[in-house]
Amino acid sequence: MASFVQRMVGAAKLESAIYEEVEADKHATGQAMGVVILSAFAAGIGAAGAGGRGVFIGLLGALIGWYLWALLTWIIGTKFLPEPQTEADLGQLLRTIGFASSPGLIRVFGWIPVLGWAVQAAAWIWMLAATVVAVRQALDYSNTSRAILVCLIGWFVNLLVAVWTFAFLGFAVLGLRGLTGNY
């Protein structure tokens, strides 16, 4: 069994065997949470150097997002797009998707002038690729295309929920301002 650091490195290298290992290890959920926290903290440091704020909010958002993304992926992958051999539970997706955040550690360099945007973009693309591998392994898919489809559908649903949430919050703020007379 690989160590925590070896798992993070293997996940960043998109090694299927590491994703299979963390999928099967029920004790690795805490490690997966640790990866999500480290990745979010790295993003916060990278953003702070560029004038960003709210590391705590970022950490909380990352943990909530990690759970919701795993839940959504589990629903889409096991209920709507399963293959005959697909057998997964939420914990398996939490573990594999958590470790897919490993490449996000490079976001700590997001503060670097001129290169910060490239670091952020590279991290985003790398984490997306890792998530596809994580989903493929956790859902026991025979090919990557179905994992990509699950991730695309999940991304679209997340986008809709975010838009609806921001729209609701915007209307709520406008309503409160209307009630208090502060425009």
Q: Report which of 119, 138, 139, 137 is spatially closest to residue 127, judged by C-alpha positions.
A: 119
Q: Which two tokens stand for residue 108?
A: 């700590």
Taking only the tens place, the pLDDT of each residue in 132-182 is 999 999 999 999 999 999 999 999 988 888 777 777 766 666 655 666 665
d(CA 51, CA 29): 33
Which range, of 24-28, 34-38, 64-68, averages the lowest pLDDT? Answer: 64-68
Distances (CA, A) of 171 to 160, 161, 181: 16, 15, 15
- Quick check: pTM over 0.85? yes
d(CA 76, CA 73): 5
